[in-house]
A and B are shown apart, each in its own frame.
Chain A
Amino acid sequence: MRRLAPQRFFFLLAAALPAAVLLSALVGSAAIPPAELFAALRGGAGLAAAIFWEIRLPRICLGLAVGALLAVSGAVLQGLFRNPLAEPSTIGVTAGASVGAGLAIALGGPALAHALWGLPWVAAGAFFGGLAATLLVYRLATAEYGTSVAAMLLAGIAVTSLAGAFNGLLSYLVDDAALRRISLWQLGSLGGADWGRVALAAAALAPFACWWPRHGRSLNALLLGESEARHLGVAVEWVKASAVLLAALGAGVAVAAAGTLAFVGLVVPHLVRLLIGPDHRFLLPGAALGGALLLVLADAVARVVLAPVELPVGVVTALLGAPFFLVLLRRQRRSLP
Chain B
Amino acid sequence: MSLRARGVWLRVAGFDLLAAIDLAIHPGQVTAVVGPNGAGKSSLLKVLAGDFAPSRGEVLLEDRRLAAWPARARAQRLAVLPQQQHLEFPFTATEVVELARLPHATGRRRDREIVAAALEAVDARYLQARPYTQMSGGERQRVQLARVLAQVWEPCGEGGRYLLLDEPTAALDLAHQLLALELVRRFAAAGVGVLLVLHDLTLAVRVADQLVVVDGGRIAARGRPETVLDSALLAAVFGVRGRLERHPESGALQVVVW
* Interface set of A (CB-CB < 8 Å, partner B): 82-84, 145-146, 217-218, 220-221, 223-225, 227-228, 230-235, 273, 277-279, 332, 335
Q: Which of A227, A228, A277 contacts B90 (CB 8 A)?
A: A277
Question: How many Å from the CB of B71 to the closest CB on chain A?
Answer: 5
Q: Which of A84, A145, A217, A332 contacts B102 (CB 8 A)?
A: A217
Question: How many Å from the CB of A46 to the closest CB on chain B?
Answer: 52
Q: Which of B51, B72, B84, B90 contacts A233 (CB 8 A)?
A: B72
Chain B residues whose C-beta falls within 8 Å of the C-beta of A84 in the assembled complex: 88-89
Complex Cα distance, B49 from A19, in Å, reads 53
Given contacts A224-B85, A230-B50, contact A278 B91 (CB under 8 A): yes
User: In the complex, are the beta carbons of A233 and B71 less than 8 A apart?
Assistant: yes
Chain B residue with the shortest CB-CB distance to A226: B51
Whether B39 is near chain A, meaning CB under 8 Å from some CB there, is: no
User: In the complex, are the beta carbons of B49 and A278 less than 8 A apart?
Assistant: no
Chain A residues whose C-beta falls within 8 Å of the C-beta of B72 in the assembled complex: 233
Given contacts A221-B102, A227-B51, A234-B102, contact A273 B82 (CB under 8 A): no
User: In the complex, are the beta carbons of B102 and A232 less than 8 A apart?
Assistant: yes
Q: Which of B85, B90, B96, B151 contacts A225 (CB 8 A)?
A: B85
Proximity string of chain B (75-108) to chain A, C-beta cutoff 8 Å, 1 when within and 0 when not: 1101110101111111110011001101100000
Chain A residues whose C-beta falls within 8 Å of the C-beta of B95 in the assembled complex: 220, 277-279
Chain B, interface size: which category? 20 to 34
Chain A residues whose C-beta falls within 8 Å of the C-beta of B49 in the assembled complex: 227, 231
Q: Which 8 A-B pairs have CB atoms at the shortest separation, nearest pair first?
A: A233-B75, A233-B103, A233-B72, A146-B86, A278-B89, A231-B80, A233-B71, A232-B102
Complex Cα distance, B87 from A83, in Å, reads 9
Chain B residue with the shortest CB-CB distance to A228: B82
A232-B102, A233-B71 given; 7 more Cβ-contact pairs under 8 Å: A145-B86, A218-B102, A223-B88, A224-B96, A231-B50, A232-B99, A277-B95
User: In the complex, are the beta carbons of B89 and A273 less than 8 A apart?
Assistant: yes
Chain B residue with the shortest CB-CB distance to A227: B51
Whether B176 is near chain A, meaning CB under 8 Å from some CB there, is: no
Chain A residues whose C-beta falls within 8 Å of the C-beta of B88 in the assembled complex: 82-84, 146, 223, 332
Which of B84, B86, B96 has the largest number of chain A CB atoms within 10 A?
Answer: B86
Complex Cα distance, B140 from A191, in Å, reads 49
Chain A residues whose C-beta falls within 8 Å of the C-beta of B51 in the assembled complex: 227, 230
Chain A residues whose C-beta falls within 8 Å of the C-beta of B231 in the assembled complex: none
Whether B243 is near chain A, meaning CB under 8 Å from some CB there, is: no
Complex Cα distance, B84 from A56, in Å, reads 53
Complex Cα distance, B85 from A83, in Å, reads 14
User: In the complex, are the beta carbons of A223 and B87 less than 8 A apart?
Assistant: yes
